């Protein structure tokens, strides 16, 4: 993938960090964007910081990226997001807005700024979730699930709107993945029951497995794939 420029948001942790590692291993030129980075980032061409729920901060980060890549990114994988578990009856409007501000609004802002810089052949990969397809009484997260459902709709709209420009837009929909956001695995008995009842592959997924799907969609290997919502959930969406 020499010469291909990939921006990964949420690059400091979880699926974003796994995507950075996998992309570097495949020869991508990689820039990362996150709220902060815990240490040195020599593996990144640029390490950008921003609050992706804020218009001005997002624009500023992409403007900084313009100095590194005047020709714009070849692909963007948008992994940044937040997960909030709380019974809906206890959820405040402010908490709802916070989750939507980062997950849904942030996805729109990153998509908009990416498309303004991409040339024909560009690829944008957004991050939805199994939560957009199924409810979960064990970990109620109405704001998160609704925000990820919004990303499904956004992906389809942008695919239709930007396809004539030669820009592909897809989304990945992970199930339960072993990252810091996952709390299910804190209770081994509950985890075992969940995987036995709801995941045909009977195990948790890894960030590396999600990253590989993100990179496929970002690459020319998926050159005729657009508007797709690709599950990486061990079969949970159909069980």
Q: 224 catalytic, yes or no?
A: no
The three-state (H, E, C) secondary structure of the chain, written as one string: CCCCEEEEECCCCHHHHHHHHHHHHCCCEEEEEECCCCCCCCCCCEEEECCCCCHHHHHHHHHHHHHHCCCCCCEEEECCCCCCCECHHHCCHHHHHHHHHHHHHHHHHHHHHHHCCCCCCCEEEEECCHHHCCCCCCCCEHHHHHHHHHHHHHHHHHHHHHHHHCCEEEEEEECCECCCCCCHHHCHHHHHHHHHHHCCCCCCECHHHHHHHHHHHHCHHHCCCCCCEEEECCCHHHC
Rounded Cα–Cα distance for residues 51 and 67 (Å): 19
Q: Given 83, 96, 100, 144, which residue is catalytic?
A: 144
Per the rule left: phi > 0, alpha: psi between -120 and 50, beta: everything else, 147 is alpha
* 202 Rama sector, left if φ>0, alpha if ψ -120 to 50, beta otherwise: left
Backbone angles phi, psi at 42, to 5 degrees: -65, -15
- The catalytic site residues sit at 144
């Amino acid at each position: 993938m020499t010469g291909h420029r990939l921006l990964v948001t949420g690059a400091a942790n979880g699926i974003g960090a796994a995507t950075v590692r996998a992309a570097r291993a495949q020869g991508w030129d990689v820039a990362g964007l996150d709220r902060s980075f815990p240490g040195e980032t020599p593996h990144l061409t640029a390490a950008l910081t921003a609050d992706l729920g804020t218009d001005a901060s997002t624009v500023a980060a992409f403007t900084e990226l313009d100095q590194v890549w005047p020709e714009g990114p070849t692909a963007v994988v948008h992994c940044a997001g937040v997960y909030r578990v709380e019974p809906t009856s206890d959820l405040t409007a402010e908490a709802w807005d916070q989750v939507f501000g980062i997950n849904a609004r942030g996805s729109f802002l990153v998509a908009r700024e990416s498309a303004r810089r991409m040339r024909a052949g560009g690829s944008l990969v957004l991050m939805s979730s199994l939560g957009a397809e199924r409810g979960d009484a064990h970990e109620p997260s109405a704001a998160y699930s609704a925000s990820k459902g919004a990303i499904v709709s956004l992906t389809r709209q942008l695919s239709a709107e930007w396809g004539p420009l030669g820009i592909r837009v897809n989304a990945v929909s992970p199930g339960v993945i072993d990252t810091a956001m996952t709390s299910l695995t804190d209770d081994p008995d509950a985890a075992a029951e969940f995987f036995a009842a709801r995941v045909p592959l009977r195990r948790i997924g890894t960030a590396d497995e999600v990253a590989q799907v993100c990179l496929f969609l970002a690459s020319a290997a998926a050159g005729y794939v657009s508007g797709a919502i690709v599950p990486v959930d061990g079969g949970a969406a159909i069980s």
